[in-house]
Amino acid sequence: MAQSKGTVVLAYSGGLDTSCILVWLKEQGYDVVAYLANIGQKEDFEAARKKAVALGAKKVYIEDVSREFVEKFIWPAVQANALYEDRYLLGTALARPCIAHKLVEIAQREGAQYVAHGATGKGNDQVRFELSCYALCPKIKVVAPWRLPEFYQRFPGRCELMDYAKKHGIPVPVTPQTPWSMDENLMHISYEAGILENPKNQAPPGLYTKTCDPANSPDTPDVLEIKFERGVPVKVTNTGDGATRSSALELFVYLNDIAGKHGVGRIDIVENRFVGMKSRGIYETPAGTILYHAHLDIEAFTMDREVRKIKQGLSLKFSELVYNGFWHSPECEFVRECIGRSQEPVVGTVRLSVFKGQVYILGRESPRSLYNEELVSMNVQGDYEPADATGFININSLRLKEYHRLQSKVTVKQDE
């Protein structure tokens, strides 16, 4: 055994990688404190605790951060209508700074100089974890085994990790036959690697775990009313059975159940990782998909057009910052503040149907609505003079007329 190097707090999942890393860190001379975040994943946490202790962890923390995840990370993303590259709802990217916050807190509590994680050297999560850790505790030191030659040269693939696990009596549920890797939290689950690395390969039957196949989903929709205050969902009511949920965590879990039952929230995409490569990911984001559509609708109903244009630009920037791991950066804090300010008028209720893999907006109402039924009606003139539109069109056409007049001159000269 190597000479003691001090205490390291390991972001532990109980899976193959972090189980092997726990044992490997001990071999390198670290005292290992394991930290397992309960962020809404399906997990036998007590079994994970026992496993970590059996592998040599001197202490195990299991911290429930689910409510914090919803209120401090998911809700700002809902307010932002956050979407990376037009499709990805950022389920993993939002979870990492939440997990890292508690990781640093435990390191400080334990007087540990080091934190460690099991993120690979090719992915985004290494960046997300470490930027968060350094922002929250600038003096912390990070041990990233998958970037250390002595680790990744020893374990170039899953087979070598499996051999190491068997040699050290590490019980792991993963076998070489498992054809993909998964990462789950309350907001979503992701699938990647293995047979999914070929982007031509269709997701095999049985891959999806949070949502049922839309083709086999119920033949009757669930109709929901979702109430928003300042762009945040505060109540959901099922108009069919009268079920209601108001607390943030319960509301989100309920929407996960409803959306999952109807097969809502599946995407299969190729995205651009921050480190510079494209990757294929399959995601299930049930509740997040419902809330994205509902919030988009109530926001359009209540927000001024020009404010919304600016806010849309901020949303793109927010999504990029979160994806790339800059949640705790000053620019991301600034953008969140601006988006939060834009949400003051986003108040009201959206009625929608969840059915066969889709979310259908049925109606909306708000005391802050900017919709004027009389003004827009085709049957009532209201406080609007149609003749004024002539001047509006003439002024806006001036630029177009001049542009094409000059283009015509250029074309004539080129033809001579």
Report which residue type is found at 138.
P
What is the b/e burial string over 111-121, where b = at least 16 CB atoms within 10 angstroms of the residue's CB? ebebbbbbbbe
| Helical H segments across 90-124, by residue range | 91-110
The residue type found at 316 is L
Cα dihedral: 106, 107, 109, 111 (round 10): 160
Residue 79 structure tokens: 């307010």
What are 401-409's contacts with CB under 8 Å, separation 24+? none
Cα distances from 44 to residues 47, 123, 310, in angstroms, run: 5, 27, 45
Contacts of 250 (CB under 8 A, 6+ apart): none
Greatest alpha-carbon span in the chain: 88
Give the span between the Cα atoms of 222 and 98, in whole angstroms.
32
**275 and 343 in contact (C-beta within 8 Å)?**
no
Burial of 55 (0-12, 13-18, 19+ CB in 10 A): buried
Please, how many CA atoms are within 13 Å of residue 38, restricted to the half-sphere of its CB?
14
Contacts of 140 (CB under 8 A, 6+ apart): 104, 107, 113, 114, 115, 133, 134
What residues does 116 pair with on adjacent strands?
A: 10, 143
- Catalytic site residues? 17, 96, 125, 181
Rounded Cα distance between 11 and 28, Å, is 17
Q: For residue 142, how many other CB atoms are within 10 A of its CB?
A: 15
